Every structure is written in structure tokens, then in C-alpha cells.
Amino acid sequence: MGGAFCCPSVDLVLLELDGAYLLQPRSILGLLWLQTHFEPTAWDRIAAGSLRLSAATRQDLCRDAQAAGLQLSCLATPLGV
């Protein structure tokens, strides 16, 4: 089963890419939680999984998300991607 919401055990994925992190919601809970943490102007990029975060912002977001009970996955991109 494909699509953005294919992994029910993970709410948010952070994909390391060129020194930044792509934030990708993987559950409805993750998407709704993100909407409470970002301005409405970022929501389209959040829903598309194309919002990039700095390392410092990623650390703060991960801490807040884990405190809220969300499940996170941080992945490094393979070489050549």
C-alpha cells in the first residue's frame, strides 16, 4: 500500500538531505500536530512533505513531537539521491 500515510506506526519522518531535513507527515495525527506548530503559509509544503528544516529546528521539533507522544523516524538519504 503506497501513499503518504502508509506507515501507521510512524507519525513523522525526517529525511536528511544536503545538510537539511525534509519533514514528511506519515499519519493524520502527525499532519494535524504539525499544523499547530507552523504558520498557515507552510501548510501546503508540510502536506506535500517538502518542508525543509535546519538541524536546530529539527532538534526542537523532535523534542516537542516526542513529548506529545508522536512516533518519529529520522533517515539519512542514500548516496546519489
pLDDT score at 26: 92
Q: Domain segments of the chain: what residues?
A: 12-76
pLDDT score at 6: 47
pLDDT tens column, 18-76:
888 999 999 999 999 999 989 999 999 988 988 999 988 898 999 999 999 999 987 76
Give the pTM. 0.76
pLDDT tens column, 43-53:
999 889 889 99
Question: 30 in helix, strand or coil?
Answer: helix
Q: With 60 as the cut, is the pLDDT of residue 3 above it?
A: no
| Nearest C-alpha neighbor of 10 from the set 58, 75, 72, 59 | 72
